[in-house]
């Protein structure tokens, strides 16, 4: 297990370099000039050229990337081109919003998805058919469309939840939770249906095995079979699906945060991309890459906790 963690940490360095390079060169293809945007439409060519030199935009792309990466090795992710604020400070100021949205969505996806899938496998019948239908709907509907519908229904028509905004957890826990219910619901719908379907299929496979029939024949209670044997074995393949849905939730969070006007990393990177604020885009990109690495490592560790054979390897 220690070897696994060390390998993941070494791999994370490679992934950060590759992802940051990809972001850097893709951003260079985006139309727009930060210097012209900062100075405005009435700026003279000379003033634009001077600002480009000050920002280092006249240097070759590899040279610009090398300068940025050298700063990262020193712990300096640079400053926003427009506000002058350190990139790390901008990310930390919005980190709570995005983490709250992702972690709550992960909890809903894992718990609700596993529960629905297990119930569907054990009970079957109408619940199984309903789960199949809902799974198709959940996969077909994008999170931003679900978010817009939820706002129209529960914030505009019925007015149960706030349509926009975010309350800090320490200021008012109740309003914090209330401000995240609709965003979490929009972000979790697809993941819940995917995990539920995977859990049901895995549980049905376990229920069909010979040792389950032996346990039933010997008089073991059904609840003990379900929770001690079926759930433990069916959870292994479902963990992979949970990990994939959490990683996919990062992309969904960008759209959901913009729909609900949440001051998170999604809205930050959207604004930075629109204004061609490269240091901010790179900083958020590195954070997202590290988040994906941490999620994958957590899934591997959970595999080891549930399956001793993985720990041996």
* Unique residue bearing structure tokens 């010979």: 210
Distance of CA 303 to CAs 29, 102, 231, 235, 310, Å?
Answer: 41, 21, 14, 9, 7
CA distance 63 to 8: 29
Question: How does residue 311 score in pLDDT terms, banded at 50, 70 and 90?
Answer: low
Which tens digit of pLDDT belongs to each residue from 25-60? 888 777 777 777 777 777 788 888 888 887 777 788
How many CA atoms within 13 Å lie on the side-chain side of 48? 13
pLDDT score, position 104: 93
Mean pLDDT of the chain: 83
Query: What's the confidence (pLDDT) of residue 306?
Result: 67
pLDDT score, position 37: 74
134's tokens: 């809902």
Question: Of the candidates 151, 28, 99, which has an alpha carbon nearest to the alpha carbon of residue 265?
Answer: 99
Which CB contacts under 8 angstroms, 24+ apart, belong to 93-100? Answer: 94/263, 94/264, 94/265, 94/267, 94/268, 95/265, 95/287, 96/168, 96/169, 97/166, 97/257, 97/262, 97/263, 97/264, 97/265, 98/253, 98/257, 98/264, 98/265, 98/266, 100/169, 100/176, 100/180
183 pLDDT above the threshold of 90:
yes
Predicted confidence at residue 226, as pLDDT, reads 84
pTM above 0.85, yes or no: no
Determine if residue 33 is left, alpha or beta; phi over 0 gives left, psi from -120 to 50 gives alpha, anything else beta: beta
Give the model's pLDDT for residue 46: 84
Q: Domain-by-domain residue ranges, the chain?
A: 32-76, 90-265
- CA separation for the pair 239, 235 (Å, rounded): 6
72 CB burial (10 A radius; 0-12, 13-18, 19+): middle
Whether 149 shows a pLDDT value over 60: the answer reads yes
Closest CA to 12 of 289, 249, 300: 289
186 pLDDT more than 70: yes
User: Measured between alpha carbons, how far is 39 from 60 in angstroms, rounded to an integer?
Assistant: 22
Residue 184: per-residue pLDDT: 93
Distance CA 264, CA 288 (A): 13
CATH of domain 90-265: 1.10.3720.10
Per-residue model confidence as pLDDT tens digits over 238-279: 888 888 888 888 888 888 999 998 999 999 998 888 888 888
Q: What is the pLDDT of residues 273-285, one digit of tens each?
A: 888 888 899 899 8
Q: What integer pLDDT is reported at residue 273 of this predicted model? A: 86
């Amino acid at each position: 297990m220690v070897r696994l963690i060390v390998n993941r940490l070494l791999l994370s360095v490679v992934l950060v370099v590759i992802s940051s390079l990809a972001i850097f060169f893709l951003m260079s293809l985006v139309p727009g000039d930060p210097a012209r945007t900062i100075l405005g439409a009435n700026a003279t060519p000379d003033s634009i050229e001077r600002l480009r030199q000050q920002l280092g935009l006249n240097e070759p792309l590899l040279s610009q990337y090398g300068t940025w990466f050298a700063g990262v090795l020193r712990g300096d992710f640079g400053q926003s081109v427009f506000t002058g604020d350190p990139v790390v400070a901008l990310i930390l100021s919005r980190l709570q919003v995005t983490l709250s949205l992702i972690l709550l969505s992960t909890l809903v996806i894992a718990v609700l998805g596993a529960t629905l899938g297990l119930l569907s496998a054990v009970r079957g019948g109408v619940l199984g058919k309903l789960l199949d239908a809902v799974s198709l709907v959940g996969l077909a509907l994008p999170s931003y469309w679900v978010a817009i519908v939820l706002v129209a229904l529960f914030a505009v028509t019925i007015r149960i939840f706030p349509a926009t905004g975010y309350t800090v957890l320490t200021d008012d826990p109740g309003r914090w939770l209330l401000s995240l219910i609709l965003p979490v619901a929009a972000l979790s719908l697809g993941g819940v249906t995917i995990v539920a379907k995977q859990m049901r299929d895995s549980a049905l496979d376990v229920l069909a095995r010979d040792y389950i029939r032996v346990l039933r024949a010997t008089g073991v209670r059904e609840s003990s079979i379900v929770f001690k044997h079926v759930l433990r074995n069916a959870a292994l393949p479902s963990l992979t699906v949970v990990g994939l849905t959490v990683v996919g939730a990062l992309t969904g969070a960008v759209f959901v945060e913009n729909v609900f006007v949440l001051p998170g990393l999604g809205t930050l990177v959207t604004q930075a991309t629109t204004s061609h604020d490269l240091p901010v885009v790179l900083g958020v990109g590195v954070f997202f890459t590290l988040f994906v690495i941490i999620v994958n490592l957590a899934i591997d560790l959970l595999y080891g906790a549930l399956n001793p054979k993985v720990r041996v390897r």
